[in-house]
Amino acid sequence: MTDRDMETDHLPENTGGAGHGAVTTVAEDPFQDPGLPAHRPRVTDLDPRAAKRAERQVALLFMIAVVGVIGSMVCYTFVPNTKVHRFTGLGTVNMNNLALGLCLGFAFLALGCGAIHWARTLMTDVDLVQERHPMKSDPESTAFAVSEFKQGVADSGFTKYPLIRRSLLTAMMVLPLPAVWLLRDLGPMPKDALRHTLWAPGMKLVNPNTGQPLRVSDVTVGTLALANPANLNDDPDERIDNLAKAAVLVVRLPQEALKGSEAQKKKQWDWSVDGVMAFSKICTHVGCPVALYEQQTHHMLCPCHQSTFDLSDDGKVIFGPAARSLPQLPITVDADGNLVAVSDFREPVGPSFWERG
């Protein structure tokens, strides 16, 4: 057989007369559609007792979700948000957060498991094929969607199994309650709590690392010290909130380094002791702790959003989004040479708030 004869053996056969207009037969698709496997009924499709048992199991999971949601509200109310516990491998954990997370986690887990178990054991178990069609909001499509929804409700057994329906609706009704319960944090109104700190006349400035009172000699020009009020630990439950308002930075500036108007210079110097000054550690932008001190320029930088305060110019903002100067704490010395507060801050510390005025 010649090469030409071999080539003609692979040419498609003509179904019509010869010539360019002849129609050829297309080779059969080698990839056959395997189709869908034969449907195998589930135990719950054949045994009514198994179906009833599955219904009770789904309802139990939904009721566990209800218990978890209610438990989260109980934990939020009765577990103090200051209670902590140290776990091996996890470190210190806030017990209020842990209890809330476990309760809500079990609630959502039970709700999801119930929905999956419902779908796998009781909903209609058939394979459906839906052809693609243009996405048009015409009356026919709307009517089809409504009929499909009704068919889906019927297939799911939502109306057939009242126990599942009632337990699911109960779980869905209580699910938003934690969000409403958390709204209790919006009240009562703080009144004047944001305007006052632990600082009071005669309150000592204490080094938070050593617990010892600060003295003028402890602060030299160019250094930065941290200080807390001496009674910070008197109320352990409120310690974090009190520290968030009362923490101060202590620096020492020579009088010739002060800027601003004569009134500002006089106020800064009168509120200090031999150039030792105390400023709030809380940024007036969003409340981050400021602690990056530039010795040569006397600038204090907030690491969060780069607000920069000039401590030599009454804590004035020279850069960044902060809108107010760092409040200065009036200080003096007692008979023992310890730095003490003359009074509380003369203005609210930290970020601005609506009632600040």
Q: Are 280 and 330 contacting, i.e. CB atoms less than 8 angstroms apart? A: no
Domain membership of residue 265 (yes or no) is yes
Q: How many domains does the chain have?
A: 2
Task: Give the pLDDT confidence score for residue 203 in this predicted structure.
Answer: 94
Domain membership of residue 207 (yes or no) is yes
Percent of the chain at pLDDT above 70?
87
Same domain, 217 and 325: yes
| Lowest mean pLDDT, pick from 31-45, 206-220, 284-298 | 31-45
pLDDT of residue 16 exceeding 50, the answer is no
Q: Of 125, 137, 144, give the one whose Cα is nearest residue 44.
A: 125
Q: Average per-residue pLDDT in the chain? A: 85
Same domain, 213 and 334: yes
Phi-psi region of 190 (alpha: psi -120 to 50; beta: other; left: phi over 0): alpha
Task: Give the pLDDT confidence score for residue 26 in this predicted structure.
Answer: 56
Same domain, 200 and 337: yes
| Lowest mean pLDDT, pick from 42-56, 99-113, 150-164, 314-328 | 150-164
| Joined tokens for residue 286 | 């969003």
Domain membership of residue 317 (yes or no) is yes
DSSP tally for the chain: helices H, then strands E: 9, 13
Same domain, 218 and 316: yes
Same domain, 215 and 336: yes
Going through the chain in order, the beta strands assigned E by DSSP cover: 84-87, 91-94, 205-206, 224-229, 248-252, 276-280, 292-294, 299-301, 308-310, 316-319, 328-329, 331-333, 339-341
CA distance 252 to 276: 4
Domain membership of residue 245 (yes or no) is yes
Domain membership of residue 223 (yes or no) is yes
Same domain, 210 and 296: yes
Same domain, 99 and 227: no
CATH number of the domain encompassing residue 256: 2.102.10.10
Domain membership of residue 305 (yes or no) is yes
Same domain, 228 and 323: yes
Domain boundary residue, one of 70, 95, 121: 121
CA distance 24 to 87: 78
Task: Give the pLDDT confidence score for residue 187 in this predicted structure.
Answer: 63
Q: Of 312, 300, 224, 219, give the one whose Cα is nearest residue 260.
A: 312
Domain boundary residue, one of 121, 138, 161: 121
CA distance 286 to 239: 20
Q: pTM for the full model? A: 0.52
Burial class (CB in 10 A: 0-12, 13-18, 19+), 236: exposed
Per-range mean pLDDT, top range of 188-202, 252-266, 299-313: 299-313
Mean pLDDT, residues 279-308: 91
Task: Give the pLDDT confidence score for residue 22 in this predicted structure.
Answer: 54
> Exposed e or buried b for every residue in 154-180, given b needs 16+ CB within 10 A?
eebbbeebeebbebbeebeebbeebee
Q: Of 187, 239, 170, 231, give the one whose Cα is nearest residue 205.
A: 231
- DSSP per-residue string spanning 86-132: EETTTEEEEHHHHHHHHHHHHHHHHHHHHHHHHHHHTS---------
Domain membership of residue 182 (yes or no) is no
Same domain, 312 and 223: yes
Mean pLDDT, residues 287-306: 90
Percent of the chain at pLDDT above 90?
40
Domain that holds residue 64: 43-121
Domain membership of residue 145 (yes or no) is no
pLDDT range class, residue 21, cuts 50, 70, 90: low
Same domain, 217 and 111: no
Task: Give the pLDDT confidence score for residue 255 in this predicted structure.
Answer: 82
pLDDT of residue 178 exceeding 80, the answer is yes
Task: Give the pLDDT confidence score for residue 204 in this predicted structure.
Answer: 94
pLDDT digit string, tens, across residues 77-102: 899 888 888 888 888 888 999 999 99
pLDDT of residue 240 exceeding 80, the answer is yes
Domain boundary residue, one of 101, 121, 141: 121
Same domain, 213 and 95: no
